[in-house]
Amino acid sequence: MKKQKILSGLLTGVTILFILYALVNNYIVDPGAESFLSHKTGLKRALNLPVWLNVMYVHVAFACIAMAAGLLNFSNRILEKNRKFHRINGYVYLVSVLLVVLTSGYMAPYATGGKISSMAFNALNVIWLFITIMALVQIKMKRIIRHRNWMIRSFAFCFTNMFIHLITFLFHQGFGLVYATSYTIGVYGSIVLLLVIPDIVIRMNGTSTTN
């Protein structure tokens, strides 16, 4: 129980900090995404900056909403005291994920690293949407444990951007690879981590049953 409280507190702290970072960085510090866009070279498609920025703003906003909604719905206290809120908040999460995936699909062709990175983002979008729909299907069938496990897997994808940038930083600053190559490694590396880490968490919680 103590271990679960520590992990829960850590998750809450990381989630809140990352939401604040995303909002401040994208809407206040660098609203024109100049730092991020400076790494995009050799694009095969012309980038319509005003449209791309507006799509990015929507993408970031709903990514933050998905993180907040997902975090709230892991609260047993909220679930026990207000199941209606839990259910409505679950649909907020679902809609947010859908909008994040759609906006990501628009931005994927302009991904840093070119087509190989674009393919990875499209794969991420499909996987995340599939996992989230599986969570919805399980709760509709009243399979509570399976629903929670699929939600753990889905919520992990809210941290895609964080993992990408951590891995990119490691390979770019740590190993001296060029940024575009490091970013591509970051995208593919995040896919592996986002598929592996949730199942480790599920096993640690002792909920990897078929109930």
What pLDDT, in 10s, does the model give residues 140-189?
Answer: 999 999 999 999 999 999 999 999 999 999 999 999 999 999 999 999 99
Question: Is residue 67 in a domain?
Answer: yes
| The pLDDT of residue 210 is above 50 | no
Question: Is residue 170 in a domain?
Answer: yes
Question: Is residue 139 in a domain?
Answer: yes
CA distances from 153 to 134, 149, 156, 190, 191 (A): 10, 6, 5, 13, 12
User: How far apart are alpha carbons 162 and 24 in whole angstroms?
Assistant: 15
Question: Is residue 35 in a domain?
Answer: no
User: How far apart are alpha carbons 186 and 117 in whole angstroms?
Assistant: 9
pTM of the model: 0.93
**What is the dihedral sign for C-alpha 23, 184, 14, 73?**
positive
Question: Is residue 41 in a domain?
Answer: no
Q: Which domain holds residue 85?
A: 2-26+46-204
pLDDT, tens digit (0-9, with 9 covering 90-100), for 3-51: 677 878 899 999 999 999 999 999 999 999 999 998 887 677 788 999 9
**Count of the separate structural domains present in the chain:** 1
Question: Is residue 88 in a domain?
Answer: yes
In the numeric block, the tokens 């907040």 are attached to 68
Question: Is residue 40 in a domain?
Answer: no
